[in-house]
Amino acid sequence: MLAHPHCPCTRASLGELAQIMAERHGKLNAYVLFMKPGGSGADWDETDLRRSAAQIPGVTVVSDLDGVEAQHFGAKTSGHAFLFGADGRLLFSGGITASRGHAGGNAGESAILAAISDGSRQSSHTMVFGCSLRRQPSKGDPVVCLN
Amino acid sequence: MSELSGKPARQGISAGRADELFQQHRQQIFRDTDKLFARLMLFQWVACIVIALLVSPRTWNGDASAVHVHVWAAIIIGGAITLFPVWMTRVWPGAVLTRYVIAVAQMLMSALLISLTGGRIETHFHVFGSLVILSFYRDWRVLIPATLVVALDHFLRGIYWPYSVYGVLTASPWRSIEHAGWVVFEDVFLVISCLRSISEMRFIANRTAALEASDQNSRQLFDEAPIGMAVVDLDNQRFKQVNARLTQMIGYSEEELLGQTPLNLTHPDDVVETERLVKAMLAGTERCSVEKRYTRKNGEMIWATRTACVIRDETGQPHHFLIMVEDISERKRAEAALSESKRRLETALETNQLIMDNSQDVICTIDESGRFVTVNKASEVLWGYTSAELEGHPYIEWVHPEDRLKTIEAAGNIRDTGKVVDFVNRYVRKDASIVDVLWSASWCDSKKMMFCVAHDVTERSRIEKALREAKEDADRANRAKSEFLSRMSHELRTPLNAILGFGQLLERQNPTEKQLARVHHITSAGRHLLNLINEVLDISRIEAGNLQLSVEPVSLAEVLEETLDLMRPLASDRSMELSVAPPLDAEQYVLADRQRLKQVLLNLLTNAVKYTPVGGKVTISMGASKPDTIRVVVTDTGSGIPAQKLSRLFTPFDRLGAEQSGVEGTGLGLALCQRLMQAMDGVVGVSSEVGKGSAFWIELPEAKSPLEGLPKNRSVLALEPHSLTEQKRKILYIEDNFSNLTLVEQMLAERSDIQVMTAMQGQLGLDLARKHLPDVILLDLHLPDLPGWEVLARLRRSKLTRDIPVIIISADATARQVDRLMAAGARAYLTKPLDITGLFRAIDDTLSGVNRTAQCAAA
């Protein structure tokens, strides 16, 4: 999951991630990459959100300096989750909350759980609700954060 | 709901008041709820901002951030939603529009919250909570705009922006319908709640109005009670509340009374008893009433009935005293007056009983059936029966049989006139003796009873009877005396008539001087005798009370002139000066009998002339010694009368030795004057000085002229002096005495115009009268065949003779006889001896038709 350490909506995404991790404990390794702009202070990404993510069992928190990884994955919005199979295939890409900041069952979560169960690729794409991960959004690039 | 109607017991004012209270309550609720919403909305606004700042203060774009749009939304939109209705609550608190705006704003705030939370379902409950709070208005109508806003918001945003209301990108319309349905569902119960609340409010308002009315009635009863009322504190015994009547009664103002205790106002003599009663009430006596005295502010004492009771609260604990004070001073005064009246009545009754028991007179009551009701002890003495025998017995049974009829008549009269006095009847006593009883009785119509006082007048009746018999004897003797005097008068006058008459004729027949002197002696002696007879008769009449007087206004000047005319010849004979000084006033009148006044004056003047030496002077003067009287004084220059003899001057037949002087007199003149003056309410008196003369005077009441008030310019009807016609007048003279007959014939012979017929019997006279119808009849009363009055009566009964004037000529000069004959129709009454001049005047007056009253030609 690519996340912005200050995005309020990402808390719901982390909550859903914690649910998935709990349900598929041991079958899944998760990484949450918190964007950190270059030149920012050491504490910039030391937020409550990052600490919450770090406390989820099976989750590894990593700093994404200047959002390079996000760009690599093509993630534009905080909370964007990617699921890769053991064979390296992308099984799922999208948001795991039903709405902005909404906790609870949602299509993204169901798709991940299903992919974990049968290793199938989930074709459905769910909306991501969160702040933009782009450092300098180019002109005309839509801001996904809808909150 | 019906039990909550709470309709006030009284319609009208109370119903109006209930509505007023209801509206006040509602308005208060509206205002309070407005305030509540004002605070709530401000709180919501602030909370919204705070939460936005806490949850999503900023939005991030990579490493760049900005204030989150939610924060701006919370501030700006939330402010827009909040401030306007809050402002309205300040400006129009309680107004309908205010709460409708609030309802809309609150629902918009719900919409904002839902939107800010991204349609989280939890925030939808804000809608339900808001509706519940809106129902605090207890006005179900505010739910309508609120519900419409919610429904519209959900439908519109559900269609166009479902994400903001449901948190989804797409939403079915049914979802909005479902949300709206829940809202309506809640509305149903809220409406029911509002209606019930309104009903309860109405119930409370009605009950409050009824309580107010009841409280007002109680207060009004207290304030306007006609007796004094007060509430007294149980602890400090001070007045807590007093009404107007009590302040008026005691004389203190309400403020003054509230600082006092009832004991302060209690009369010192009643303090101990009042304290005892207070203690008794504190010990448990619920109510007590006592008559006591209070001292007013001005020091006056009033009597009052004070009733006190303990008022308890709802737990039964004594709370205060309620005392009621009624002024009974008037009643006490009335009782005192009644007591005094009763005491007096008892005293009067005792006195009456003493009077009844000790009275020497009978005092009794008789009912309308004629039975004795009550009798006193004197009754037992009078009738000889005991009280028990008398009471209840008809009194009429003991009345003498001969007196019963008049007694019954008298008893009947009492009921008509109310009383009877001096009624005497006889009763038969128990021992059969007869007793005369004098009654005074009165009839009480309300009691239907006679109240009688009577006493024994048997002895008095005997004395009265003796007196009555004595009086009858005296009357008989008096009548005999009068008869004697009348007869003597007649018997003496008859010969005197002949003596004086023929003497006068002789004087007119040119006698010699010597004969004339002798004749003069005869006529003088005759006149003296005649005067003596007349004066004796007059005194006799006066003393018998038979003197007839005609008192009327009399011109003093006229009477004096006539008298002086008579006296002047005598005065001239004695060379005396007879004068009046000052001249007579024709307007002076006195109340007197003209003839008798003339007689008195003549007597006084005659005495003055007779007893004054020749060449003396007699003066008549008039004046007033006191108001409303006129005094006439006859002053002479005689020898005067010694003072010691003056007291004998008016004694009959006492001439004070004048009989030795040769002056003729009877000694009756002054006595007669005195009696005549007394009879005319006048006075006669004398003052005299020996050697200088005497002054005799009379005083009479002054009178007004009878001509006063008559028109001065009216024509005075003066009688023309009679002039006889040339035709001879026929005169019939009926007389049995030949001398008298002859005398009158000779007198009338001097008149050529008169023809005389004579008759010596009454019947003959009647026959001649019918045959010749004379112009005048002269009638003597003593005729041999018929009494003169019978002749007169027959003349009057006959159609032929009834209009012939009759002149009575009689020696009977008594007034009774004169009156009787005049009343029987005589035209004039002449007494013997006849005076020629008087006879001619009477005849002339009669012939000329002038009615003359009886005149006694006794000169």
CB contact under 8 A, B60 and A100: no
Per-residue pLDDT, B710: 44
pLDDT band at B16 (very low <50, low <70, confident <90, very high): confident
CB B429 within 8 A of CB B458: no
Q: Residue B720 — pLDDT band, cuts 50, 70, 90?
A: very low
Question: Minimal Cα distance from B56: which residue of A?
Answer: A8
The 8-class DSSP code of residue A47 comes to -
| DSSP codes, B746-809 | HHHHT-TTEEEEEESSHHHHHHHHHHH--SEEEE-S--SSS-HHHHHHHHHHSTTTTTS-EEEE
A81–chain B nearest CA distance, Å: 17
Sign for the pseudo-dihedral over CA of B104, B110, B113, B119: negative
**What's residue A146's pLDDT?**
43
Question: What pLDDT score does B567 carry?
Answer: 85
Query: Which positions in chain A touch B62 (Cβ < 8 Å)?
Result: 4, 35, 37, 67, 132-137
Around B500, how many Cα atoms within 13 Å sit in the side-chain half-sphere?
A: 21
Nearest Cα residue to A137 out of A64, A93, A82, A77: A77
Euclidean distance between CA atoms B26 and B30, whole angstroms: 6
Minimal Cβ distance to B61: which of A101, A102, A134: A134
Long-range contacts: B273-279, Cβ < 8 Å, 24+? B277/B308, B278/B237
Residue type, B216: Q
What is the pairing mode between strands B301-312 and B419-428? Answer: unpaired
Alpha-carbon gap, residue B83 to B109, rounded angstroms: 12
**Interface contact B59-A133, CB threshold 8 A:** no
pLDDT of residue B415: 83
State yes or no: pLDDT of B716 exceeds 60.
no
In chain B, which residues have their Cβ closer than 8 Å to the Cβ of A146?
A: 163
Q: Which of B56, B64, B65 lies closest to A147 in CB terms? A: B56
Contact across the interface for B62 and A132, Cβ inside 8 Å: yes
Which positions in chain A have a beta carbon within 8 angstroms of at least one beta carbon in chain B? 4, 6-9, 35, 37, 40, 44, 67, 78, 98-102, 127, 131-137, 143, 145-147
> Would you state the pLDDT for residue B855?
39
What local confidence, expressed as pLDDT, does residue B126 receive?
93
Q: Do B56 and A8 touch (CB under 8 A)?
A: yes
Report the residue of B51, B53, B54, B56 to disrupt the A interface, i.e. the one with the largest count of A CBs within 10 Å: B56
**B187-196 as b/e, with b when 16 or more CB fall inside 10 Å?**
beebeeebee
> With left for phi above 0 and alpha for psi between -120 and 50, is residue B854 left, alpha or beta?
beta
pLDDT of A75 > 70? The answer is: yes
Q: Verify whether the Cβ–Cβ distance B59 to A137 is below 8 Å.
A: no
Report residue B622 as tokens.
């008039």
Residues B341-348 have a mean pLDDT of: 92
Count interface pairs A-B at CB distance under 8 A: 62
CA distance A86 to chain B (A): 31
Asked if the model's pLDDT at residue B123 lies above 50, the reply is yes
> pLDDT band at B486, cuts 50/70/90?
low
Residues in A closer than 8 angstroms to B63, CB to CB, are 35, 37, 40, 44, 135
Mean predicted confidence (pLDDT) in A62-72: 90
CB contact under 8 A, A37 and B167: no
Specify the range with the lowest mean pLDDT, choosing from A5-19, A39-53, B32-46, B484-498: B484-498
Is the CB of B60 less than 8 angstroms away from the CB of A147? Answer: no
**Would the CB atoms of B63 and A40 count as touching at under 8 Å?**
yes
Mutate which of B53, B55, B63 to test chain A, going by most A C-beta atoms within 10 A? B63
**pLDDT score for B215:** 86
What pLDDT, on the 0 to 100 scale, is given for residue B854? 36
B121 in A contact zone (CB under 8 Å): no
Which chain A residue's Cα is nearest to B122? A102
pLDDT in tens, B230-288: 999 888 889 999 999 999 999 999 999 888 898 889 999 999 988 888 888 888 787 88
Q: What is the pLDDT of residue B399?
A: 94
CA distances from A110 to A1, A86, A114, A124, B29 (A): 16, 19, 6, 10, 53
Q: Reduce the DSSP state of residue B550 to 3 states and report it.
A: coil
CB atoms within 10 A of CB B570: 14
Q: Per-residue pLDDT averaged across B788-795, rounded?
A: 91
User: If 0-12 CB within 10 Å is exposed, 13-18 middle and 19+ buried, where does residue A114 land?
Assistant: middle
Q: In angstroms, how far is the first alpha carbon of chain A from the final one?
A: 19
> d(Cα B179, Cα B142) in Å, to the nearest integer?
19
Q: Do A147 and B163 touch (CB under 8 A)?
A: no
Q: Tell me the two tokens of residue B576.
A: 């005396």
A-chain CB neighbours of B168 within 8 Å are 98-99
Tell me: the pLDDT tens digits for B403-447?
999 999 888 888 888 888 889 999 999 999 999 999 999 998 888
Q: Sorting pLDDT into bands at 50, 70 and 90, what band is B728?
A: confident
In this prediction the pTM is 0.46
What is the average pLDDT across B510-521? 84
Is residue B479 predicted with pLDDT exceeding 80? no
Residues in B touching A7 (Cβ below 8 Å): 60
Q: At residue A41, what is the residue type? A: G
- Stretch B560-569: mean pLDDT: 85
The verdict on B60 touching A (C-beta cutoff 8 Å) is: yes
Q: Does residue B122 sit at the A interface (CB-CB below 8 Å)?
A: no
A39-56 average pLDDT score: 90
What the block records as the tokens of B61 is 């774009």
Whether the predicted pLDDT of B568 surpasses 80? yes
Q: Which helix (H) or strand (E) holds B242?
A: strand B239-242
